[in-house]
Amino acid sequence: MTELQGRVVLVIGATGGLGSRLSVLLEAAGATVVRAGRREVAGYLPGDLREAGAAASIVRSVIEQHGRLDGMVIAAGVVAFGPMADLSDAALTELFEVNALGPIRLIREATPYLAASAATGGEPFIVTLSGIVSEAPTAGLAAYSAAKAALAAFTVAATRELRKSSIRLVDARPGHTETALSEHPIEGVTPAFPPGHSPDAVATRILQAITGDEKDLPSSAFAD
């Protein structure tokens, strides 16, 4: 079991539906949670994953404030709907910056500090959220699916590299979850979705994976 008491955990996307819930659950389990988000909120680290330097800035701020990093949850994301032929260059770029390149940069920047945590007896972890579209790319979500699939592929390979540093990487792939993400697409119109997962249930399941030393959370792990 991974012990969270006294551990410093960074949550990116902490203003969102899942990030906010995970922050509360991690704190309840004893972690010192550092919240980061694109929106300006008092007490949160600013961080816009559309900017190449954001990942390094966020991680550097955590180390300056706390002197260590023991875990990281990347819950930031954006979505766009509609036919791929209608997708603008601006939306395409943002989808990959926020959903793939930003998380990849964060993992790269955090790795030395997570390795240091492991070297001093910690049980460092990284949680990504590539979602069910990385398993089953979806029409009307082609570019979003591709960005999330890129993140999922990265986590598979990075897991093998990080194993030697005793850093555990968990990719969570829940199906549609009832957060506000789908209500605020960067482009296109939100389609009618069937009822999705409860965000509280998804966040609780992810926390269970963190504390239970799980190494993967496929969509089947979130079956009701």
pLDDT tens digits for 24-38? 999 999 999 999 998
User: Do residues 170 and 216 make contact, with C-beta atoms less than 8 angstroms apart?
Assistant: yes
pLDDT of residue 40: 82
| CATH number for the domain harbouring residue 173 | 3.40.50.720
Place of tokens 């704190």: 27
User: Do the domain assignments include residue 222?
Assistant: no
Residue 3 lies in a domain: no
Q: Which domain holds residue 151?
A: 8-217
pLDDT at 25: 98
Q: Is residue 187 part of a domain?
A: yes
Q: How far apart are CA 76 and CA 99, in angstroms?
A: 7
- Please identify which residue in the block is written with the tokens 């012990």: 3
User: What is the DSSP secondary-structure string of the chain?
Assistant: ----TT-EEEEETTTSHHHHHHHHHHHHTT-EEEEEESS--TTSEE--TTSTTHHHHHHHHHHHHHS---EEEE-----B-S-GGG--HHHHHHHHIIIIIHHHHHHHHHHHHHHHHHHTT---EEEEE--GGGTS--TT-HHHHHHHHHHHHHHHHHHHHHGGGT-EEEEE----BSSSGGGS-SBS-PPPPPP-B-HHHHHHHHHHHHHTT---B-GGGG--
Q: Residue 27 falls within a domain, yes or no?
A: yes
Distance between CA atoms of residues 94 and 38, nearest Å: 13
What is the total count of domains within the chain? 1
> How high is the pLDDT of residue 42?
87
Phi–psi pair at 169, nearest 5 degrees: -115, 125
The answer to whether position 2 is within a domain reads: no
**Has residue 102 been placed in a domain?**
yes
Residue 209 burial (10 A CB sphere; 0-12, 13-18, 19+) = buried
Give 148-197 pLDDT, tens digit per residue: 999 999 999 999 999 999 999 999 999 999 999 999 999 999 999 999 99
Using 70 as the pLDDT threshold, list the residues of the chain that sit under it: 224
Specify the pTM. 0.96
Find how far residue 72's CA is from the centre of its chain: 8
Q: Is residue 184 part of a domain?
A: yes
Give the other-Cβ count within 10 Å of 93's Cβ: 13
Contact of 40 with 66, CB cutoff 8 Å = no
Flag whether 28 is in a domain.
yes
d(CA 13, CA 205): 18
Q: Which amino acid appears at position 82 of this protein?
A: G
pLDDT (0 to 100) of residue 224: 67
**Residue 177 C-alpha from the chain's centroid:** 14
